[in-house]
Amino acid sequence: MVFDGEAAASLVKELRLNFNSGKTKSYEWRISHVNAFLEMVVEQEDQIVEALRSDLARPPLETVVYEIGVFKNSCEVTLKELKQWMTPEKAKTSITTFPSSAEIVPEPLGVVLVISAWNYPFCKFTFVLSLDPVVGAIAAGNVVVLKPSEIAPASSALLAKLLGEYMDNSCVRVVEGAIDETTALLQQKWDKILYTGNGKVGRIVMAAAAKHLTPIILELGGKSPTVVDSNVNLEVTARRIISGKWGCNNGQACVAPDYIITTKDFAPKLVDALKTELENFFGKNPLESVDLSRIVSSNHFARLTKLLDDNKVSGNIVCGGQKDESKLRIAPTLLLDVPRDSLIMSEEIFGPLLINDTVLHLVVHTFPFGGVGESGMGAYHGKFSFDAFTHRKAVLYRGFTCDGSIRYPPYTDTKQKTMKTLVAGDVIGVVRALFGWS
């Protein structure tokens, strides 16, 4: 079946009707679907591990920890906190609205589109890429369309299959496909769009959203420097850098370290420590290591090879550099003293080339996750995911008493004087004005 603009419009219309029915707003509906996500990843762990092995040669341990474990924690936090998140927040009123009470009510936005990336399709560990924002949108009471990346076909197909089985398909849908399908979706009017990926596509998403004044969240890439002081534990530092760089999809993660900043005298010691720990992690022939993910596609392999073959850096390799195009594998590679105007220093690497801890801040559900400038806009994660897909509606409650004529025409000098004191918050002045006291 061809998914074109007409099909996309029909899908959005159907979902909007279902949202307008109010079925997704109840606590019971929301919590049942968060529970369903939790059951899904527990019951289908083997399928998830196999899909990521197929797409990325991902080591099972990484999938279990970085995908399933973190996502389960996200669901459990949502289950525990959702009732509190949904509770209206009391707000103060003023003498101007007396007698009254007020509250801020978190309301769902409506029909949400999540366009995810391929490197962490099941969780937020690096960008919250597919299911974490979907959980946030559902917890907030929205209906959702998820568009997974075609670059990871096994994961995309599995997401479509599992969400079809575990979710209410009248309110949660998956659309597979590539550029044509994404374009068809972006032509529609959404109530919020979340996109994870690169800046080039991010601009396309933003331009499409602007036509409908649709608010967006962009999780984009960028350069990720790691600053290393000379007064550190070298062994621990090297292990943490390696884990953050090559333990996260072999560098294919937007928070993976891109380059290291350290002192010139300390750099050789750090390089030696990294070499030692890299061999401890992945052996003397890392291209054969089962603990190292492969590059996701031949196009990305060619892009990374171009960065390495740049004549400004090709002589700066101090470790690694081996490649196997047939297996889409590139060994962990260290480059030293790379010129700032080289390709590798001007583009996001998103691969196994490198120049406190790394990455782990992403598992802290009390932190917002989001970028600024070229790295994106907006944030989500835990409660911040709920907030990202929620409108904070201001509600003022007033009865029919104390409906003084002061706010209505004709506007006399006495009314004007009284209104000025009201606006200024001068309670005594209001009383004086009302009773004519000097």
| The CA-based dihedral angle spanning residues 100, 106, 107, 111, taken in that order and rounded to the nearest 10 degrees | 160
Half-sphere exposure of 193 toward its Cβ, with a 13 Å CA cutoff? 30
Q: State the alpha helices, DSSP H only, in 167-266.
A: 179-186, 199-210, 234-245
Q: Which of 123, 254, 319, 348 is catalytic?
A: 254
User: Active-site residue 254, yes or no?
Assistant: yes
User: Active-site residue 89, yes or no?
Assistant: no
Interatomic CA distance for residues 210 and 261, integer angstroms: 38
| The CA-based dihedral angle spanning residues 37, 39, 40, 43, taken in that order and rounded to the nearest 10 degrees | 160
> Is there a contact between 378 and 388 (Cβ–Cβ < 8 Å)?
yes
Strands (E), 320-386: 323-324, 329-330, 333-335, 353-354, 376-377
Cα dist from 85 to 76, 107, 141, 381, 384, whole Å: 14, 11, 12, 13, 10
Interatomic CA distance for residues 379 and 397, integer angstroms: 32
- Greatest CA separation for the chain: 93
Interatomic CA distance for residues 286 and 387, integer angstroms: 43
Write the single-letter amino acid at 235.
E
Phi and psi of 147, rounded to 5°?
A: -115, 95
Q: Which of 62, 181, 219, 348 is catalytic?
A: 219
Interatomic CA distance for residues 332 and 351, integer angstroms: 9
Residues annotated catalytic, as ranges = 219, 254
